[in-house]
Amino acid sequence: APISRLLNVQLPKSKELGFATLRQHFIKTSVYSGLIIFVTLIPLLLLGSILVKTLYGQEYLPSINLIYYLSDHVLVSGLAVGLGSFYRTLNRMKIPIILSLAQLVSLVVLIVVSVQFFDPLKSVVIIIPSLSIIFLLINFYIINKRILNKYE
């Protein structure tokens, strides 16, 4: 991830200029990265059936629905591109480790429980994107309300 490596250098420089600058650079990076992913994702989703049929063959066409359902996970990943560098800059690496473990445990528990009520494919399609969005929102809440407000 070249962007993460670049942010590992640039965010500490932004921190030296002040926390308002750090916040501004982090938000700008997250928004621009999310927009780039979104702009790239839309044509790929529109051409998904053609690309799958061309690159993988007719027998993979049923997987197109998964592409649509799981595409928001890609968008969330684009928005979260600077989280690791941000936490590292503020020397708060415990937070993403705890959140990642919580995400893993809740993902496993929710999938095991939901398989009892839904078929496995539907469980995965519902839970993975939902948890991705929830944990991204939790990360931004922690950053905004708990970390940056302490420095202002």
Please answer whether residues 148 and 19 qualify as being in contact, where contact means their C-beta atoms are separated by less than 8 angstroms. yes
pLDDT 10s digits, 23-77: 899 889 989 999 999 999 999 999 988 999 999 998 988 888 888 877 888 888 8
Residues 145 and 152: their CA atoms lie apart, in Å, by 11
pTM: 0.76
What's the confidence (pLDDT) of residue 32?
A: 92
Tell me the DSSP string of 79-98: HTTTHHHHHHHTT-THHHHH
What's the confidence (pLDDT) of residue 118?
A: 83
pLDDT 10s digits, 84-120: 888 899 888 888 888 888 888 888 888 888 888 888 7
Q: Is the predicted pLDDT of residue 19 greater than 90, yes or no?
A: no
What's the confidence (pLDDT) of residue 138?
A: 86
140's CB contacts (< 8 A; 6+ apart) are none
Quick check: helix, strand or coil at residue 21?
helix
What's the confidence (pLDDT) of residue 65?
A: 82
Give 1's pLDDT tier (boundaries 50, 70, 90): low
